[in-house]
Amino acid sequence: MYKIGFIGIGIMGKPMSKNLLKAGYKVTAYDLNQEALEDVVKSGASRGENSMQVASVSDVVITILPNSPHVKEAVLGKNGVLEGAKPGTMIVDMSSIDPMASKEIHAEVIKKGCFMIDAPVSGGEPKAIDGTLSIMCGGKKEIFEKVKDILNVMGSAVTLCGDIGAGNTTKLANQIIVAINIAAVSEALILGQKAGVSPAAIFEAIRGGLAGSTVMDAKVPKMLKGDFDPGFRIALHIKDLNNVIDAGHKVGAPLPLTSSVMEMMQWLRANNKDMLDHSAIVQYYEFLSNADVRA
């Protein structure tokens, strides 16, 4: 079994690293948040001193961090992964970042005689906990095959989408669909509420038909309960949509629906709601319509 380094013990990283421990892997973990790190250490992980030290004792280093600058710092910066990695070390970046940043980091990784794939995830905290994430990968097939068993511990769908950066491009596509789906569901439930039809009844009636989706099943119950504890924060979805829009501008892809949902999220941020779950998009519609889907 490969020895694994795990950098980033957040909402997603904590359960993902614990699943690796349950599967019998030796894990050395590191995070700036000592409380989160302590939780994983209590579950059996070794405590890493910094990214460099984690890499020095690992065959595979997994990173899952908020955005491109954080990954660059953790991998390329002072006391970073590349300062501790041995030639042949495999880096699996599971963060959701700009595909161009993945390519830039990869270029430096290769210079050090190491390897890298980008492997962002979808499914939120519940699927991170039960190990059924969707994992979208970009990189060389031979490196993907070497780490696939590790990824299968954390996900139920692990797909190689292309060369480096393809994983993050696929994740951006995923985030477009999720954001627009949540907005569409919110719009539909508010229509029902204003027309005197129970949003809960609408949900039950249409969830098994063509309009049904994983997003609907995961997010409508939260809306109906008024439970906006974050499985995936609006602030992080804003980050992803910023990357979507940047990538779209670079390749000439039109993004009118994405841009509209981004404005909804920016309103939520301006109203101090950006740390809520992205299902709180419904609150934008509730404000405009003076309605409440829980009523």
Residues serving a catalytic function are: 171
How many CB atoms sit inside 10 A of residue 196's CB? Answer: 6
Write the DSSP string, 107-169. Answer: HHHHHTT-EEEE--EESHHHHHHHT-EEEEEES-HHHHHHHHHHHHHHEEEEEEEESTTHHHH
Q: What percent of the chain is helix, strand and coil (3-state, nearest 5)?
A: 55, 15, 30
CA 159 to chain centre: 15
Report DSSP state, residue 208: T
Question: What 3-state DSSP class applies to 242?
Answer: helix
C-alpha closest to that of 123 among 92, 98, 158: 158
Half-sphere exposure of residue 215, counting CA atoms within 13 Å on the CB side? 21
- 47: three-class secondary structure by DSSP: strand
What does the block give as tokens for 221?
């119950």
> Which is it for strands 133-138 and 121-122: parallel, antiparallel or unpaired?
antiparallel
